[in-house]
Amino acid sequence: MQKTEKQAFKLDEASQQKQAAEKTQRELALVEAALYVAGRPLTLKELCSVLKTRSKNKARKLAKTLMREYASRNTALEVLELKDERYVLQLKAEFTPRVRKLVKRPLLSTGPLKTLAYIAYRQPVSQKRVVDVRGHHVYGHIKLLKEIGLVVGERRGRSSVLRTTEYFADYFGLSRDLSAMKRQLKKVFQREMAAEKK
């Protein structure tokens, strides 16, 4: 009788371990799906929301496990941990130049993109200054950038001061820290100018 009870206990334990492993795999798939669909870095709070848990520790463990899995797969995609414990699923930098032309439609056309670049590099910058430098047509650009959520305006007296949002930093993979972001942008601009000269 004891032998049968031990066998039953072992079977029950094995079944529980199998169920736990399956649950973890489903949760990893859910984190992967969230990162893929978002197309931007997600915070632990956002991952907790998707996983329907309050445990940031659990979300962190799953994200780090997914990072290790992607690192061991040797594929074109990677999961990275950014500052402030944010995680992103993205294409590895070495593949971007080869596949960039396949992107159907950029988020912004050239005009609004130039206006956004000016605001990002000069921020916080008055709307009046942006208009003086870029021309009166930028009112439309600024309206669009606000609608998309890349720029916000703050009233200061009679004028409006423009700055980029956290969504802007996340979307373009830049630091949320203003001075670090400006250094990153300077490098991007220098690279682009060097590429144009070739």
Quote the percentage of the chain above a pLDDT of 70: 88
Is 1.20.1260.10 the CATH classification of the domain at 110-197?
Answer: no
CA gap 39, 148 in Å, rounded: 15
Could you please state the CATH topology (level 3) that the domain comprising 11-93 is classified under. Arc Repressor Mutant, subunit A (1.10.10)
Question: What are the domain boundaries of the chain?
Answer: 11-93, 110-197
DSSP state letters, 97-166: HHHGGG-SS-SS-HHHHHHHHHHHHH-SEEHHHHHHHH-TTHHHHHHHHHHHTSEEEEEETTEEEEEE-H
Equal CATH topology for 11-93 and 110-197: yes
pLDDT tens digit string along 104-152?
656 677 888 889 989 999 999 999 999 999 988 899 999 989 988 889 9
pLDDT tens digit string along 151-169?
999 988 888 999 998 888 8
